[in-house]
Amino acid sequence: MIYVTLGVIAALLFIALVGAGEVNGARRWIFLGGVSLQPSELAKAALVVFLAWFLTQREEEGRLENFWYTVAPAGMVTAILAGLIVKEPDLGTTLMLGAIFVVMVFAVGLPLRHLLRVLPLMLPVLLYLIVRVGWRWERLLAFWDPKTYAQGKGYQAWQSLIAVGSGGVNGLGLGQGRQKLFYLPEAHSDFIFAVIGEELGLVGAATLVAAFGFFFYRCYRVSRTAPDRFGQLLALGFATAIVVQAFFNISVSLSMVPTKGIPLPFISAGGTSLLVTMATVGVMLNISAHCDRRVGERESGRAGEKQSWA
């Protein structure tokens, strides 16, 4: 079933590439009437489910440390999805898939040497995608010196910094931001954190960062106490997909990394992103419920033992 799901999502990614849904030079959406679908958001969730299932199966078979039986097939599935997404083009989501893969195979206990065998294949491809694609290289130059490129490829980053700086400590007030009206592009999605910084200031921005930190802590607790390996990897993978993306988006808004269009989970506009994010949170709540039940059963057992001793 999981392979069928992956096949369907790969087909949707291909349809997005060859379809007529081009927006700002990218083909990331499938438009059906008045509804749009972004298959790359589905691909992230599907990859987490696949890796959790696949790595659990290999661990139960006792062949987890076999590179060609475990790491190579998992990496191939990741590479196929990433290859379709990077053609959209969407390097940010491609990097997210790579982060999910690295975190999950490392968390399951695979030897570090297996990851080191994959890196020589990944790094040249990443360098090619950055250096050989003109506008990505210009964004990298703008990241190094945003003021010089403030009217070119660094325009978004520079306006984002102005927005965050204008907010000060307490902000201009909810809905009172000016950058989103005339200057800051994609203020409703990729640079929503800059709007939050301008309107709610350092206090509001720091509160949001702390909320994502607490969210990851709770997800990590769920992963640690999940009743089985599949649940552990599933919770950790979903937490990685949400929190790493959140901090990547925030880092872009603060010009800590080169500009890349990627939404802020729970906050940015985008129906597919919000729907998938909420669905993954629902899965983690279900895992958490099983964790609470197991803890309750353990505590009841301990209480029964004390009564028997009494």
Query: Maximum Cα–Cα distance for the chain, whole Å?
Result: 78
Q: What is the pLDDT of residues 3-50, one digit of tens each?
A: 898 999 999 999 988 875 677 667 888 887 778 888 999 999 999 999
- Classify each residue of 49-74 as buried b or exposed e, where b means 16 or more C-beta atoms within 10 Å of its C-beta: bbbbebbbebbeeeebeeeeebbeeb
Which comes out higher in pLDDT, residue 107 or 141? 107
Report yes or no: 230 and 52 within 8 Å, Cβ to Cβ. yes
3-state helix, strand, coil split of the chain in percent (to 5) is: 70, 5, 25
Q: What does the block give as tokens for 307?
A: 């009564």
Write the CA distances from 111 to 53, 105, 149, 152, 226, integer angstroms: 19, 9, 43, 44, 23
∠ CA 71-49-70, nearest 5°, is: 15
Residue 306: per-residue pLDDT: 46
The mean pLDDT value for 110-129 works out to: 79
What single-letter DSSP state applies at residue 70? I
- Mean pLDDT for the stretch of residues 71-76: 90
Distance set, CA 259 to CA 137, 144, 262 (Å): 11, 11, 9
- Cβ atoms 145, 261 nearer than 8 A: no
Give 164-174 pLDDT, tens digit per residue. 999 999 999 98
In this prediction, residue 118 carries a pLDDT of 77
Between 280 and 186, the more confident residue is 280
The tens digit of pLDDT for each residue in 236-245 reads 999 999 999 9
Please indicate whether residue 73 or residue 23 has the higher confidence score (pLDDT).
73
Question: Helix 2-18 crosses helix 72-86 at what angle (to 10 degrees)?
Answer: 20
Reported as a single tens digit per residue, the pLDDT across 86-117 is 888 888 889 899 999 999 988 888 877 877 77
Give the span between the Cα atoms of 296 and 289, in whole angstroms.
11
Prediction pTM value? 0.86
Calculate Rg over the CA atoms of the chain: 22
What are the angstrom distances between the C-alpha of 69 and each of 72, 75, 100?
A: 6, 11, 19
Per-residue pLDDT band at 210 (split at 50, 70, 90): very high
Q: How far apart are CA 61 and CA 55, in angstroms?
A: 10
What contacts 24+ positions apart, CB below 8 Å, involve 173-178?
Answer: 173/199, 174/199, 174/200, 175/199
